[in-house]
Structure 1
């Protein structure tokens, strides 16, 4: 059975690529402008963030909610032949490998697809649908294992389109066990929604905007949350047991605590109110 351990960001095996390669603009997510390819001023010489513990109060919530799905360490170690214990500085890597931004972007997109396909494999019972998901997952893993020249040509959107129908069928199959009529809020703007204690078990919330929504004590068991925007949503006391296609980045943007019941797989920074030894800390 495939697992998602290789799809978790491990910054100790990377080289601060997410702090160098992308551009970002001054906004609610970032406190200043940074052009692509220039190291963030907060990036130390050892490729660690000097304000990691203060990212949100210092104006960088966008850094908190970013997840490379393990693409960073794969790019450094596998694609560029580097190993833990001394990857070159990001700027040096970029000079040596100008195709690095394209490789990282492709790997991040493909790894995100792999995250969801692997979850589907974990949740489905043996049968035709699971076999189809497993076959596509194996194909996408082959794509992720390609060389530099092939990776920069990968059509990530096509990989997502191929996975979409299978993830949709997986969602329907798993949520079919929920009794009663299932709520449908796919793609809805539910920003600021007051849903404390709401019964949303098995709900279709795929792509919904839940910015700042009050979901305290809500029942979100088996809800489909693929692509839902949970930034600043209050999940304290909410039950997300078995919630589908939820990522660590989505949860990191939300507010939760030890009373939030989580699905297997994603582990946000606020889980249990203390650091988790089994989850690498971003940028430290």
Structure 2
């Protein structure tokens, strides 16, 4: 049997409060900064830096309640990890791009950089709450503090930031964390473990039939799980950082103690009331009952 372990600390939810999108405090940055192309996710083309036709003067979406019905499924999936309000209220001191059009272009370019930093804060906050990785906690705290410092840089400094290099350094810590936590879980496991073939970092599982699969302790970092069938699968203590969950069927799956999950991934997937989620995540509105 699987010996249930609580790998997180009660402080994790609180440490992530600022990493949740607060659209009321944002200047509609994702609706302007990001480009999209007409597809199954978007009903039209839009260039980067151009306001979406549905964006109102007060920076709210005019069709928010019917995005999926109108062909804007991609908008319901997106999550900025709180970068929108950080850029709007801190980096630009609450002065929006309509009030200060001379800063608009720079603001729209700063936003994706800030989103990357906030995503790293999300992962590092989780890593710091994972007790089996305690040997790395000092290094994780240092990386967390440095990432937080970077989010407070002024716009020009953010524009010159080598985000890729910083991500690489953080990613090394996250990989070490994952190995420690998954190895600890394997040691605590009671009973035989099934051998899983064909799994690993970046594996192509597009459309794969993994219904009811035992994926505990697996490394699925960056895996392509697009339209895969994971109904009833066990994903506890499975590393899911960067895994592509577009249209992945998670109905009845158990993700209660998976590693490095994001709301963005859940929003892109299909699920239902039987999908077991970690306590800090919201069940997407479009999931079935």
Give the alignment partner of residue 214 of structure 2, picking from 199, 217, 223.
199
TM superposition shift of 1:185: 2.8
Distance in 1 separating the partners of 2:280 and 2:194 = 27
Alignment of 1:112-261 (within 5 A): 112-125=119-132, 127-176=134-183, 177-178=185-186, 179=189, 180=193, 183=196, 184-261=199-276
TM superposition shift of 1:102: 2.3
| TM-score with structure 2 setting the length | 0.86
CA contact (8 A) 2:212 2:233 kept: yes
TM superposition shift of 1:145: 1.2
Give the superposed CA RMSD.
2.1
Distance in 2 separating the partners of 1:230 and 1:74 = 27
Change (3 A) 1:94 1:161: farther
CA contact (8 A) 2:271 2:287 kept: no
Distance in 2 separating the partners of 1:17 and 1:5 = 20
Distance in 1 separating the partners of 2:286 and 2:125 = 22
Distance in 1 separating the partners of 2:269 and 2:109 = 29
User: Is 1:265 matched with 2:280?
Assistant: yes
The gaps in structure 1 that reach 5 residues or longer are 275-284
CA contact (8 A) 1:182 1:204 kept: no
Aligned residues: 269
Secondary structure of 1:99's counterpart equals: helix
Which position in structure 2 is the counterpart of 1:51? 63
- Which structure has more RCO (C-alpha within 8 Å, separation ≥ 6)? 1
CA contact (8 A) 1:13 1:73 kept: yes
Give the alignment partner of residue 10 of structure 1, picking from 4, 22, 34.
22
The gaps in structure 2 that reach 5 residues or longer are 1-10
Distance in 2 separating the partners of 1:218 and 1:133 = 31
TM superposition shift of 1:42: 1.3
TM superposition shift of 1:273: 7.1
Change (3 A) 1:259 1:102: same
TM superposition shift of 1:93: 4.6
Q: Which moved more, 1:208-217 or 1:24-33?
A: 24-33
